[in-house]
Amino acid sequence: MDRISKLTAPIVAAGALAALALPALALANPPGAAPSGRLATLPIGTYECTLPGKADGPAWHRIPDHDFAILNSSSYEARGQRGVYLMRGTEVTFTRGPLKGTRMERSGKRMLRERMDDGSLGRMRCVRTGPAA
């Protein structure tokens, strides 16, 4: 083996291992699987939910049935009932209570976007408007 081959052999081997590992990584978290990431909580406060409006009318339309307030730890209140949510990374899943099954994606410190069943982002967004009432 010449000198250049001795130097490049480890690099070529590492590339081959990476090529074998990539398909396994893609299968590690397929669409629809539970999100991964650090557990976290949302900032305490009231969140108002809206849908975008049209150019010839209001900029947004409130959806009061989806409004909620983050209380403490991982609890929330919506429509006068309490529930629990789980936040992993930027993915928020309401696991108990009136919003059970709703999934949202945190984008920024004050806004959440609706996550559809197919994994795409929906049109609804919920914005933190102030401290919990």
Q: What angle do CA 128, 98, 66 make, to 5 degrees?
A: 40
pLDDT of residue 19: 47
Q: What is the mean pLDDT of residues 38-60?
A: 91
Could you identify the residue written with the tokens 């909620």?
68
pLDDT at 7: 55
Q: What is the mean pLDDT of residues 23-41?
A: 58
8 Å CB contact between 11 and 85: no
Distances in Å between the Cα of 67 and the Cα atoms of 8, 14, 75, 124 are: 59, 51, 14, 11
Find the mean pLDDT for residues 93-107: 96
pLDDT of residue 118: 95
- Please tell me the distance from the alpha carbon of residue 122 to that of residue 69, in angstroms, as a whole number: 21
* Tens of pLDDT, residues 54-99: 888 888 899 999 999 999 889 999 999 999 999 999 999 999 999 9
**Confidence label for 29 from pLDDT (cuts 50, 70 and 90):** very low
What CATH topology corresponds to 39-130? Lipocalin (2.40.128)
List the alpha helices (DSSP H) in 29-85: none
Domain boundaries, the chain: 1-30, 39-130
